[in-house]
Structure 1
Amino acid sequence: MPNQVYTRLKDEILSLKIKPGQSIGEIEIANRFNVSRTPVRDAFKRLEYENLLEIRAHKGTSVTLIDINYITDIIYIREKLEFAVIQELCKNCTENKQFQLNLLLTKQNKLFEQGYSQEELAREFIKSDNEFHAMLFKLANKENVLSFITSISHHYERFRMFINIIEENILYELFEEHKLLAECIVTNNIEKLQEVFKEHLYNGIRKSSEKVFEYPEYFTDIK
């Protein structure tokens, strides 16, 4: 049960169902999950360690704000590490690997036909987006690199969710970029791949500059 509480809370924080800065309490969560306070306390400690919760003695517990500095750092790390991994994949993108990428893209495209609200589509697309990028690491046999990047990307994950919810057109743009990435990988077009990948990484943060100031309560150091 402690793992279930932790997993559910983490998912709700990363998907912005629980908002940045929102207060949550042990009793409230224990009642909601019908558990004692012990597994809730354990889950809170794990989430605090991951910098998703801030626990303050005598003041309560709240979800951490999204730190823009973390986001730019993670984008930089992904630009260097993930691009290197994709280059490795380009060297040996077999027909089977191409099939797996195309299958994911087909599934991703079908999300736009399901009649989701913008918020629902954003959450479903993030899952599919993560699956697509995870597949790139898997096909390149670099899953440990992905585990490292994922472990330090919690602020970035919430930022992506924020942008995907408030920017109506960005999801289809991301899908089109995924198709271009796959095409560059299959054709081993490294020059075009670098251009498309950089655009893919930085597109969200460029589009977000004004939106961030519309929701200053979600972010650190935004006035």
Structure 2
Amino acid sequence: MKVNRKEFPLDRTRQVAPQILEILRSRILSMDMPPSTILSRISLQSEFNVSQTPVRDALIRLEEEGLVEVYPQYATVVAKIDIGHSVQAHFLRLSIELEAIRRLTSESPEETAAALQRVLLRQEQELAPERYDVFDLLDKDFHRTLFERVGILGLWTTVRRQSVHLDRLRRLNLPMPGKMEAVLADHRAIIDAVRSGDPEKAVGAMRKHLSGTLSIIDLICEQYPDYVSR
């Protein structure tokens, strides 16, 4: 699976270690750097034209997030996708987002549906394989809207931090035939359910949507056996 690597110039007016962290995290989550990719500290220092300290600090953070594994005196490699961690992240998202959609459908169905519709309209414009990155960002915006509207935006950071392995699974799932169209169909169903003012209908639509990737976990593992750890 090949993804065109984007250039991320560093802003020398800001600390570079956090920028390197974001760049490497983005490459790993997008599968530009798939599991088992070796990360050479010397090569990274050369690429970003920095000393060893910011590269080391960025790799330490990635290790804490479970995205790389460090083998002292040997190498740093991109970690395999942890299926168990993905299942836990899925449970966390279900717990929060089902309650959020239930409450919003009861309290502000029209306003919530309109906010979600605005994101959906933008996402519909990105329905092309070469637009995976933008499509995926808008998918996150769709769900972030729920956190914002229900007043728990602080939890969004927690969910994103806990979802790194699930995000990589989703990235493997997204290019599968019909997946992008299925995501849009799910989003439309969620919006229609919210607008109906029926909380249980909205919860059902959201549950179906959030369970999409894990429902075909065996297929993903079969297609990418070297990428996952069960």
Report the TM-score, using the length of structure 1 for normalisation.
Answer: 0.90
- Counterpart AA for 1:187: S
Aligned residue for 2:229, secondary structure, equals: coil
CA gap of 1:5–1:123, structure 2 versus 1, over 3 A, is: same
Alignment pair present for 1:56 and 2:82: no
Alignment pair present for 1:175 and 2:184: yes
Determine the C-alpha separation between the residues in 1 that align with 2:214 and 2:95: 17
User: Is the CA contact 2:102–2:203 (under 8 Å) kept in the aligned structure 1?
Assistant: no
Q: CA deviation at 1:95?
A: 4.7
Superposed CA offset, 1:25-46 (max 9, x none)? 1111111112122111110011
User: Is the CA contact 2:69–2:79 (under 8 Å) kept in the aligned structure 1?
Assistant: yes
Q: Kindly indicate which of the two structures has a greater share of residues assigned to helix.
A: 1
Give the alignment of 1:95-110 within 5 angstroms: 95-110=110-125
Query: Over the residues paired in the alignment, what is the CA RMSD in angstroms?
Result: 1.5
Aligned residue for 1:111, secondary structure, equals: coil
- Counterpart AA for 1:124: V
Determine the C-alpha separation between the residues in 1 that align with 2:208 and 2:155: 22
Q: Which runs of 5+ in 1 are unaligned?
A: none
Superposed CA offset, 1:174-206 (max 9, x none)? 111011111211222222222211211122222
Match of 1:91 in 2: 106
Superposed CA offset, 1:117-140 (max 9, x none)? x2x333222111001000111011
Superposed CA offset, 1:154-193 (max 9, x none)? 111111111112x121111011101111121122222222
Match of 1:220 in 2: 229
Determine the C-alpha separation between the residues in 2 that align with 1:189 and 1:31: 56
Alignment pair present for 1:190 and 2:205: no
Q: CA deviation at 1:215?
A: 1.3
Give the alignment of 1:19-30 within 5 angstroms: 19-30=34-45
Q: Which runs of 5+ in 2 are unaligned?
A: 1-15
Determine the C-alpha separation between the residues in 1 that align with 2:117 and 2:209: 18
* Range with greater deviation from structure 2 (96-105 or 51-60): 96-105
* Range with greater deviation from structure 2 (68-77 or 130-139): 68-77
Determine the C-alpha separation between the residues in 2 that align with 1:102 and 1:210: 31
User: Is the CA contact 2:41–2:55 (under 8 Å) kept in the aligned structure 1?
Assistant: yes
- Counterpart AA for 2:221: V
Match of 1:145 in 2: 155
Q: CA deviation at 1:53?
A: 1.0
Q: CA deviation at 1:78?
A: 1.5
- Counterpart AA for 1:183: D
Alignment pair present for 1:72 and 2:102: no
Over the matched positions of the two proteins, sequence identity in percent amounts to 26
Alignment pair present for 1:210 and 2:225: no
Superposed CA offset, 1:1-39 (max 9, x none)? 111111111111111111112111111111111212211
User: Is the CA contact 1:123–1:161 (under 8 Å) kept in the aligned structure 2?
Assistant: no
Determine the C-alpha separation between the residues in 2 that align with 1:37 and 1:86: 46
Match of 1:135 in 2: 145
Aligned residue for 2:211, secondary structure, equals: helix
Report the TM-score, using the length of structure 2 for normalisation.
Answer: 0.88
Match of 2:4 in 1: none
User: Is the CA contact 1:97–1:139 (under 8 Å) kept in the aligned structure 2?
Assistant: yes
Determine the C-alpha separation between the residues in 2 that align with 1:84 and 1:94: 14
